[in-house]
Structure 1
Amino acid sequence: MNIRTMTQRLAAGASIALLASFGAVAANAHDVLTGSSPKNGATVATSPKELTMTFSAELQKLPGADSTVAALSSEGKKLDATATTKGNTVTVVPEEKLANGDYTLAVRVISSDGHPVEDSIAFTVDAPAASPSAEASQTPVSSPAASDAASETPSDAPSEAPAQAPVQNLGAGVNPIVWIIIAVVVAGGLVAVLVNFARNNKK
């Protein structure tokens, strides 16, 4: 093998290595999603107060432009949410509590190399329904001791007027005609006594 052939082969090998290296750098230039909360495909038992998506490098912020765009949706309906970017993390806060159902969070950010990058996650909210026993336990129940104490506590309300005596009740319930008849009978008896007394004195 002469020197010229060897030089050509070395040049070709160097070119191939340079192209491979350039391709690897280009492939790894864009930042990629490395994690999220909730995790992609996860099911959570409570409505998350915030959602996060973490990328492989610090994301850029372009002055005067929306460098981060987030879309939170459920069954094709977009939900109101605010998105902020700090370092390599995008934080999305829903404006309302998320009901049970399937959700998708898609974001578009500016990669550290200046190119836009889009990615998304999906998750499910499946909060258990409150059991009837739990609801019943929240209802205050008065104890027998408290009931007894309440019954023994003197009331601040004015007491009722004392009931009339039995005789007064009887007089109030008798018809006036009955009283007249009684008066006549008593008067007749008194007359009979006086007449009898007068006869005895004449003897």
Structure 2
Amino acid sequence: MLRAFFRTEVGSTTVLLAATLLGLLWANSPWAETYDAFRHIQAGLAFGDTTFELDLRHWVNDGLMAVFFFVIGLEISREVTVTLVGIALGALVFVYAPSEHKLRLAGEAVQELAGDPSPRLAREAALRVKRSVSINERLQLMLHPWSSYVIVPIFALANAGVRLDTESLRVPLLRAAVRDPRTAARAPS
């Protein structure tokens, strides 16, 4: 039941909402300084003498969101290529579609497995079915759960921590009041 829930968009939306609320509550709690400290923890990679280091906020905003937008791009290319760009790129669409030969081999392997189940035939059938699915589809299936349940909620947690105190709210409200022509007209000279 839990596995089925996490395969739905409702599941990823619930995780996103929870991470957003956690970020807001944490940033507005007595432990707000730990939220800021957590976001500024340095993490990096080292290759010999070369190091690449960012704080967690930048890893999330620049690194993880690149994966998120990659998944979005994969979904868009699947939907848009066929509809809007399909005519212009019609010659390239066949690259993404499985060949009849690969489909036939996958079907034969599955039938053979059904007739004589064995680990060897199961591996062969799985491999042939996998080869009959486009790389675009495989990447989407592999990356979508990571994007929905890890990357976007971490992004929400890292960026939803807006302090909601009187000082942080007062300045934007004053700016809005000054810009509002109805308020400016009533202001004393």
| Structure with greater proportional helix content | 2
TM-score range, shorter-chain basis? under 0.3
Q: Decide which structure has the larger Cα Rg and report it.
A: 1
| TM-score (ref. length: structure 2) | 0.18
Structure number with the bigger relative contact order (C-alpha 8 A, sep ≥ 6) is 2
